[in-house]
Copies of this chain bind each other. A is one copy, B any other.
Amino acid sequence: MELHPRVKSSLSEIERMMEEDLSKEDPSVYGMLAPFLKRGGKRIRPALCLLSCGAVGGKYEDALKPAAIIELFHNFTLIHDDIEDDSRFRRGEPTLHVSYGIPIALNSGDALYTLLWNKLVSLDIKPSGLVKLEQLYAASFKRVAEGQGLELAWIKQGRFDVSEEEYVKMIDGKTSALIGLSCEAGGMLGGAGKRARSALRDYGEKIGAAFQIQDDVLNITGDFEKYKKEIGGDISEGKRTLMVVHCLAKADEKDKQRLISILSSHSKEKADIDEAIAILKKHGSIDYARKKAEKLVKDAKKRIGSLKEGDDKANLLAIADYVVNREM
């Protein structure tokens, strides 16, 4: 996916800002964070924030710091989620708790989260506007923690009777909330009116959900070289993905019990993971998830149809397509 040059250079500026901010802090507490952030990632959230700001006629400069704060928050959640899921790899390298142990990884996440709040409450915006922006961020962050909490509760309770509605509520927090925030905050900072802001929020929420569904699909059909996470990791972790939810509702008793048994075992054996994937395929669950993601993307694009034409809108539409076409 190719972003237009002005966004690309602004994203580089954000990278530079994040690195510089961290370099000012005590290395014994923050030292592992700059290399973690430098591993990259798609920077889709800050890109969406800038593009949303631009698409409503705003200036990227006004969204740079707020966009960086969202990317910092995203990285904070990755560090803690990796501990919670005991994931071994992130962006092709060992997760922080694998390298530094749980105590330091956990605290570095807390330090990062606290640092970004320091940045947020110190943004150079008129207090009345700043407080509104903070409330938007805080409410979205809350949904993220809740989405993660829901998923952990299902795993802990051994619940497999998760409905598609519950699944949607969970990814609504885990992914849609922050991507929706990126777009809405961008719109707000760009001076969007109520309607444009709401369109951007919906667009973001929808592509966020599509992003998560596609991520789950890639987790079992992807290529480690491109995806840079363990293939089948979601199966070992017993995740209730849309594919699993669909399959358990549709499969015969035998396949259903076998799938539950593999997911509950937290097995990392290739044979078990392959068998689980075969069951998902047999019942059309992977295709079902792909189609769901495509529908979400189609709706998302429609939602921003009335925004002014230009590079920013074109990129927003391209990102929506990328979300379901990506391989990493």
List A residues at the B interface (Cβ < 8 Å). 26, 28-30, 80, 83-85, 100-104, 106-108, 110-111, 113-115, 117-118, 121-122, 127-128, 130-131, 134-135, 138-139, 141-142, 144-146, 148-150, 152-153, 155-156
Residues of B contacting A103 with CB < 8 Å? 83-85, 152, 155-156
Residues of B contacting A29 with CB < 8 Å? 145-146, 149-150, 153
Provide the bound-state CA to CA distance between A128 and B131, in Å.
9
Residues of B contacting A138 with CB < 8 Å? 114, 117-118, 121-122
A contacts with B: majority SS: helix
Residues of B contacting A108 with CB < 8 Å? 149
Interchain CB contact under 8 A, B130 and A142:
no
Residues of B contacting A114 with CB < 8 Å? 138, 141-142, 144-145
Give the 10 A-B residue pairs with the shortest CB-CB distance, closest first.
A29-B149, A127-B127, A84-B103, A111-B145, A121-B134, A28-B153, A118-B138, A127-B128, A127-B131, A114-B145
Provide the bound-state CA to CA distance between A122 and B133, in Å.
11
Provide the bound-state CA to CA distance between A148 and B107, in Å.
7
* Most chain B beta-carbon neighbours within 10 Å: one of A26, A85, A107, A156: A107
Provide the bound-state CA to CA distance between A110 and B108, in Å.
13
CB distance from A48 to the nearest CB of B (A): 21
CB distance from A153 to the nearest CB of B (A): 4
* Known A139-B118, A150-B26: A83·B106 in contact at CB below 8 Å: yes
Interchain CB contact under 8 A, B131 and A106:
no
CB distance from A35 to the nearest CB of B (A): 16
CB distance from A142 to the nearest CB of B (A): 5
CB distance from A327 to the nearest CB of B (A): 29
Q: Which of B85, B127, B139 contacts A130 (CB 8 A)?
A: B127
Provide the bound-state CA to CA distance between A122 and B29, in Å.
30
- Closest B residue to A118 using CB positions: B138
- Closest B residue to A103 using CB positions: B84
Provide the bound-state CA to CA distance between A118 and B237, in Å.
31
Residues of B contacting A149 with CB < 8 Å? 26, 28-30, 104, 107-108, 111
Q: Which of B28, B84, B122, B148 contacts A135 (CB 8 A)?
A: B122
Provide the bound-state CA to CA distance between A111 and B152, in Å.
13
Provide the bound-state CA to CA distance between A274 and B206, in Å.
60
Residues of B contacting A144 with CB < 8 Å? 114
Residues of B contacting A139 with CB < 8 Å? 118
